[in-house]
Amino acid sequence: MFDFGRRVAVKICGVTSVPDALVCATAGADLIGLNFSTTSPRCLAPVRAAEIVATTRPLFPRVSFVGVFVDQPSDFVQNLAHELSLAAVQLHGAESPAEVARLSPIFTIKALRVRSSSPTIPATDYRCDAILLDTWSAQVPGGTGEIFPWSLAAELLPQVPRLILAGGLTSANVAAALAVVRPFAVDVCSGVEKAPGRKDAAKVREFIAAVQAAEGANVAIRA
């Protein structure tokens, strides 16, 4: 499905409008997250999501769309993935391993929220295509803007097929995160916003530029 070679991909999540999607695509985002959780301030109605996809995809065919769901029926997830031709679905709730496996062969990302005090992360319980690590919060299932110890992600990296790093990433700290973890992708939401669901174009560009600069430094070190 996704082939970025040795490059770390960039996912911008919580996009809620056509202009913001175009900003992200133009800046070089690889993945755009569309949130369908009714508990989120970034929630999209399917018709609005369809407008974003229909406008952005012809202009930027290399950009892939990921649907974000929180404890929603598998039929709803599958139907929306089909209707919008989503490249992947991301499950950000308390979905069981059986519920996650039921979505195969759709490319499935299971998000797990990490407490810094947790000695283990139950990622290997899930049969899925990627694991996303975000910071645990009692208030919201994601988009907290808070980081967790990246060493926990580095320890998990060899145990999962693909690892996506999220949780409080910004242009100021993403290079440091990449120095600790070599993930499949980085995921940013509130770190590039001016308000929930409203992206800041300058922050989007700065974040992607910071990832690209860190990637260039890593290539130089490996050489």
Q: Which residues are catalytic?
A: 13, 134
The residues pairing with 195 across neighbouring beta strands, listed in sequence order, are: 198
* Closest to 51 (Cα-Cα) out of 83, 73, 11: 83
Other beta carbons within 10 angstroms of residue 177's beta carbon come to 23
β-pairing, 185-188 with 163-165? parallel
Q: Which residues contact 31 (CB under 8 A, 6 or more apart)?
A: 9, 10, 11, 12, 63, 64, 65, 66, 87, 88, 185
Q: Which residues contact 84 (CB under 8 A, 6 or more apart)?
A: 34, 46, 49, 50, 53, 65, 67
Is residue 122 within 8 Å of residue 112, measured between CB atoms? yes
H-type helices in 32-166, by residue range?
A: 46-59, 74-83, 97-101, 150-156
Distances in Å between the Cα of 178 and the Cα atoms of 33, 48, 64, 143, 222 are 21, 34, 22, 19, 14
